[in-house]
Structure 1
Amino acid sequence: MNHHAVVDHTDTARRLMAYAVLAHDPAVAAVAVDYWEKSETHYRAVDGALRAFLDRADTTGQARAAHRALTADPGDPRHHRALRERIPALLTAHPADTHELAAEISEADRHIWIDYHLGERHGTLPTTEATSVPPSAARPHSAAPAKARILIPFRDQEGGARTRNLLACLRALADQTEGPGHQITVVESDSRPRSRALLEPLVDRYVFAPKEGLFNKAWAVNVGAVDAQNDSLAYLCILDADILVDRSFIARNVARLSAGDHATHLPFGWSLSLDALSSKTAIELRTGRGVPDVPGALLRGLLLREPPGGCVWLRTEVFHAVGGFDERYEGWGGEDDDIVARLAAAAPLIRYDDQLLHLDHPRPRMTRDDGSPFNAHVEPMSWHAGLGYGVQGKFMLRQD
């Protein structure tokens, strides 16, 4: 080990700035309340150490003022950069404090479940709304035989950001490198088929799953999988409607399942939940300008560590062997953790390190009116195929 290595003050400053954002931005708790609860004390510890350091070291008050501006308005990247620019000189002048802060960061980094990403060129690209390029302009699927079904559950009762995101998702799925073919099923679960006319021409299979009340993603996915059982496609990808994929997404993940000994994989370690501006940038680049992959340097957002859902690839027979998702989960939370745990128990499951881009949208309610979790009553890993799953009319007469 080189005991004389120089601490990278720029990187330390970047991490301190990130923790100041993580400790004060309401979007952090909003993106995943359970991950926030696991991480909050570590955010507060690093930000508290930073404040104490600035009180001791910042004789001009400029860095302290930058920190106050950032914590008052953590959503403005200008404050992020202003603070990050002022910290390195202070760290250089106080090496003992620098060592302690770096150790504090290193310890916190081991425990946090939400991190912060700010690309160096965020906000520099002019953007337009995704609807400036009509969805009908999407490229056709590969002419090669289909090996995988992409299954997307969907509901958007306002016809807003989630619909925009799904259209971008479908366009990105249509713009894929040559290789194995795929088919796309969208399952819209709602009180009526609001988006049928818009979506049906863009997918291989549109399925309406009637249900009022809380959105039941688990049941919607199961309905789509059961509907497609006769197609005998070897692989299944369960994809959220807000995920924007790169051009090699299909070929890369089909190759992994074809060559590997595993039955299920999650192709990402961290999921980047983009802010509103970054979402517009990503959509414009990927679906408007046709870039194969969106550069992270242009993006800003929150990184979720090893989330269980968003994008899951698996062998179709394994999905049916475990009975699909547990349909007792309704509203936000728990269904992805449960099925990933059951899939891992049934056959090998691994992760890869791809970039996963999650587009911005209004956050759903994460608890009931009394503050309790929606699905605390469900016993994890108790669902099985013998209970029956994916029954189309299951909720037709139910009123939540």
Structure 2
Amino acid sequence: MPTPPEPPRPSADRLAERLTAYAVLAHDPAVPAIAADYWAKSEDHYRTVDAALAAFVSGTARAAYEKVLADPVHAAHQHTLRAALTALLAEHPAPGRQLAEAVAEADRHIWIDYHLGADYTAQAPPLPPQVPETAAATGAPGARPRPGAPDVQVVIPFRDRAGGTRTRNLLACLRALADQEGGPGHRVTVVETDSEPRTREALAGVVDQYVFARKDGLFNKAWAVNVGVVRATRDAAPGDGYVCVLDADILVDRHFVARNTARLRDGGHGTHLPFRWSLSLDAPSTLRAIGLRNDEGAADVPPSVLRGLLLREPPGGCVWLRADVFHAVGGFDERYEGWGGEDDDVVARLGAAAPLRRYEDALLHLDHPRPEMTREDGEPFNAHIELGSWTGEHGYGVPERFTGTTAGEAAPTGS
């Protein structure tokens, strides 16, 4: 039997790029901070490649490597290291082959990766330093025509007690959703769950439906989603329509709605996540992406101008599904409060109820302050909940669950 050919080895420049990424991944404090569980599964692989790289570099490459370690967010240092490594690898092909094997092995196991676009600059165009009092001040479009019943209900759970970057991100998300071409009609519902309706005025004229569901204490994304989906689909016939559960920090391209609706309509599945990797942008990339997509009218944002951390197959952020499948599983598990777990749970239950798929779209996650990811004792917020045990048989999406009062709702735009 003939020996199968070896897989092609990466070019010196591509290998240098990956080695530079591993230097950043091993030393940038933002990496463990973005997802502690993903870091735990990946750290040993970062350390292995980084140790091999440290043993290999010399001369100009050694000096560049040490600058990256001292300042792992400085893009110019990374470009210098990549160039120096490309030259050094060309001079020393034998250790280069060993490094390529180490990178290939690590790439199979890591859950956080790194992206640095060739045209990235930290000097992003400035945005207004404060969130405007009304959405109209951002140039956000107003009411859109609504011919007939929409095929898609986009539901966005939300809370921003600081009145800053999260609200900025939500407005950018809504503007991108208003700028959609082709395909079916869609309707956007924002559910704000807080002790008071902080963003009601800022969203006037931008969303089709604003729902305020009163709840103090920890943010309950699961309940907020359920409130929004139940409200958005209450007048639909059983089995009709599609739902997109979207985080407020996701910036979508112009064909987002049409592309994903067609997938659900034609794919024979019940749920899909349209991305394999989610790119969490740094602050300059976030401003550049918002500027290109919202202010300059770009249909999408080229990855060449972005920098950020890539999360492998996260369970949430953007989930598309048939409305009947959502209701068949009783929606999200409303016992989850604080950060973490609710997306893993609902995706597992949705996948058990009907086929679930992933696609390879880019998913851009805008920068914002990281929430607390554990309780004061260091334990995960929702470690006590049994995954997949929710049925919704006792009701879900009840706006008065935490207060016993009626949730407030703004009139839909265009009505």
TM-score range, shorter chain: over 0.9
Is the 8 Å Cα contact of residues 193 and 219 (structure 2) preserved in structure 1? yes
2:120 pairs, out of 122, 127, 142, with 122
Indicate the RMSD between aligned Cα atoms, in angstroms. Answer: 1.9
Q: Tell me the equivalent position of 2:408.
A: none
Is the 8 Å Cα contact of residues 333 and 366 (structure 1) preserved in structure 2? yes
Q: Distance in 2 between matches of 1:179 and 1:360?
A: 29
Are positions 1:77 and 2:84 aligned together? no
Number of residue-to-residue matches in the alignment: 393
1:50 pairs, out of 6, 29, 53, with 53
Gaps of 5+ in 1: none
1:135 pairs, out of 138, 141, 148, with 138
Are positions 1:36 and 2:39 aligned together? yes
- Describe the superposition over 1:358-395 as per-residue Cα deviations: whole angstroms up to 9, x where unpaired: 00000001111111111000000000021321111111
Q: Tell me the equivalent position of 1:271.
A: 278
Counterpart amino acid of residue 115 in structure 1: D
Where do 1:318-329 residues align within 5 Å?
318-329=325-336
SS of residue matched to 2:337: coil
SS of residue matched to 2:308: strand
Counterpart amino acid of residue 205 in structure 1: Q
SS of residue matched to 1:189: strand
Shift of 1:125: 7.3
1:21 pairs, out of 24, 28, 44, with 24
2:216 pairs, out of 212, 217, 224, with 212
Return the TM-score normalized by structure 1.
Answer: 0.94
Shift of 1:135: 3.5
Q: Which segment is superposed worse, 17-26 or 62-71? A: 62-71
Cα pair distance change 1:31/1:5, threshold 3 Å: closer
Q: Distance in 2 between matches of 1:299 and 1:315?
A: 33
SS of residue matched to 1:352: strand
Q: Tell me the equivalent position of 1:309.
A: 316
- Describe the superposition over 1:238-268 as per-residue Cα deviations: whole angstroms up to 9, x where unpaired: 0000000000001111111111100101000
Cα pair distance change 1:35/1:142, threshold 3 Å: farther
Q: Distance in 1 between matches of 2:393 and 2:71?
A: 52
Where do 1:153-172 residues align within 5 Å?
153-172=157-176
Percent sequence identity is: 61
Are positions 1:148 and 2:130 aligned together? no
Are positions 1:108 and 2:106 aligned together? yes
Shift of 1:140: 4.9
Return the TM-score normalized by structure 2.
Answer: 0.91
Q: Tell me the equivalent position of 2:88.
A: 90
Gaps of 5+ in 2: 406-415
Is the 8 Å Cα contact of residues 187 and 208 (structure 2) preserved in structure 1? yes
Are positions 1:339 and 2:353 aligned together? no
1:173 pairs, out of 173, 177, 196, with 177
Q: Tell me the equivalent position of 2:409.
A: none
Are positions 1:353 and 2:360 aligned together? yes
Q: Distance in 2 between matches of 1:138 and 1:36?
A: 40
Is the 8 Å Cα contact of residues 142 and 180 (structure 1) preserved in structure 2? no
Q: Distance in 1 between matches of 2:272 and 2:7?
A: 41
Q: Which segment is superposed worse, 195-204 or 389-398? A: 389-398
Shift of 1:201: 2.1
Is the 8 Å Cα contact of residues 274 and 318 (structure 2) preserved in structure 1? yes
Are positions 1:371 and 2:378 aligned together? yes
- Name segments (4+ residues, structure 1) moved above 4 Å: 1-7, 130-133
Cα pair distance change 1:264/1:3, threshold 3 Å: closer
Shift of 1:178: 2.7
Counterpart amino acid of residue 138 in structure 2: P
Counterpart amino acid of residue 63 in structure 1: A
